A and B are shown apart, each in its own frame.
Chain A
Amino acid sequence: MSSIKIRTKHLNGQTQIRTLITHPMENGRNRDKQNQLIPAHYIQELWIEHNQSKIINCNMAGSISKNPYFDFLLNGGNSGDEITISWVDNLGFTDTNKTIIK
């Protein structure tokens, strides 16, 4: 299952894009039960495409909460348009998911 959940909703001519990503977002400062530092593991970059054109690019680090949630408002956006969300983290893992605006 993809780590990215996307929900879209029409709001007065705009489209709200909400996303919830499953990711530990470890900043490298926390310790586990054996008092060992947990290595940093966080999403570095997130981008959102609307019909294959990039509309939002976001840089972040470990200061975003675990399982990050974002929402954005897109002007316009029609039923049937495709929204793609992708991320890449500091260890090189990446994931992408897409949805169709209802």
Chain B
Amino acid sequence: MTAYSLATTSGLFYSTWAQAQWLKESFKAVTYDEILKHLFPDAEFIDSRKIKFSRLPRTAENGAVVPIKITSSLKNIEKISILVENNPHPLIAEFFLSPVVEPSVSARIKMAESSDVIAIIEAEGKFYRHSKYVKVTVGGCGG
């Protein structure tokens, strides 16, 4: 699998101006519902147990640093998105993975307040979703 074919299949590179603008829009401060419509227009989400969170605590003591690890047994994953519903900027990050990469991604995110954390995985044209409620005891840096 070359980087070139990866780019053509998943829109990997935001090189053009229009795509850069689109990216800017995606990370703007809007509500969770709006961002879902913007990112996944007309998508039907399938709640899946094949997506797993590990490391994500039930109660986060410090909202500025919340560890998260997403693993999945789904095949042919193109994109993993992480969203936090109650953050001022609900979209946290998007990961585009090539097939040589195992669907296992971890990061540290900020959470402004207690909220659902949602992972959306795009695989073979379908959208799989998994969420978990995380209680934040100290808010983190305004999101």
Q: Which residues of A contact B (CB under 8 A)?
A: 14, 27, 29-30, 44-45, 49-50, 53-66, 68-76
Residue numbers in B under 8 Å from A72 (CB-CB): 101-102, 104-105
CB–CB A70/B84 < 8 A: no
Take A27-B141, A61-B27, A66-B64 as given contacts and tell me if A56 and B108 are in contact as well, using a CB distance cutoff of 8 Å: no
Measured CA separation A73–B3 after assembly (Å): 17
Minimum CB–CB distance from A14 to chain B (whole Å) comes to 6
Partner of A29, one of B66, B93, B97, B142: B142
Q: How many residue pairs, one in A and one in B, have C-beta atoms under 8 Å apart?
A: 112
Measured CA separation A53–B100 after assembly (Å): 11
Measured CA separation A70–B106 after assembly (Å): 5
CB–CB A63/B100 < 8 A: no
CB–CB B89/A27 < 8 A: yes
Measured CA separation A68–B105 after assembly (Å): 13
Partner of B97, one of A27, A30, A55, A63: A55
Residue of A nearest to B103 (CB): A73
CB–CB B141/A69 < 8 A: no
CB–CB A69/B108 < 8 A: yes
> Does B16 make an interface contact (CB < 8 A)?
no
CB–CB B96/A65 < 8 A: no
Minimum CB–CB distance from B140 to chain A (whole Å) comes to 8
A/B interface sample: 8 pairs, CB < 8 A:
A53-B98, A57-B13, A57-B95, A58-B93, A58-B96, A61-B92, A66-B65, A75-B101
> Does B114 make an interface contact (CB < 8 A)?
no
CB–CB B102/A65 < 8 A: no
Minimum CB–CB distance from A52 to chain B (whole Å) comes to 8
CB–CB A56/B97 < 8 A: yes
CB–CB A57/B102 < 8 A: no
Measured CA separation A30–B26 after assembly (Å): 21
